[in-house]
Amino acid sequence: MARHIANCADSRRSLEGIRELCTCLSGDELRILHVVALRLWAGRSQYGKLHLQDDPRDWTQEAHFEAIDAAVYLAAACLRKIDAMR
């Protein structure tokens, strides 16, 4: 029960911090923040709630794989544009 109360307090502080930061952000910055939040929300359907203390994933390795995937997607998009210009 005490852990749940602490988590709620942490969540409230985080939300208050996000609200405060949002007042200083421009429209496009808010859109980016929204997209990141949507990705977190989408990740919950695959992995459940994010608990860093209990999550066994290697975050550095995950980031490397994601960066490689992004490079593949960008290269494919570039090639598609080049092919369309021919």
* Cβ 50 vs Cβ 44: under 8 Å: yes
- Token pair belonging to 38: 């949507």
Q: What's the confidence (pLDDT) of residue 3?
A: 58
For 2-52, the pLDDT digits (tens) are 555 557 788 899 999 999 999 999 999 999 999 999 999 999 999 899 999
Output the CA–CA distances (angstroms, integers) from residue 70 to 49, 61, 66, in the order listed.
24, 14, 6
pTM exceeds 0.85 for this model: no
CA pair distance 78, 60, nearest whole angstrom: 27
Query: What single-letter DSSP state applies at residue 49?
Result: S
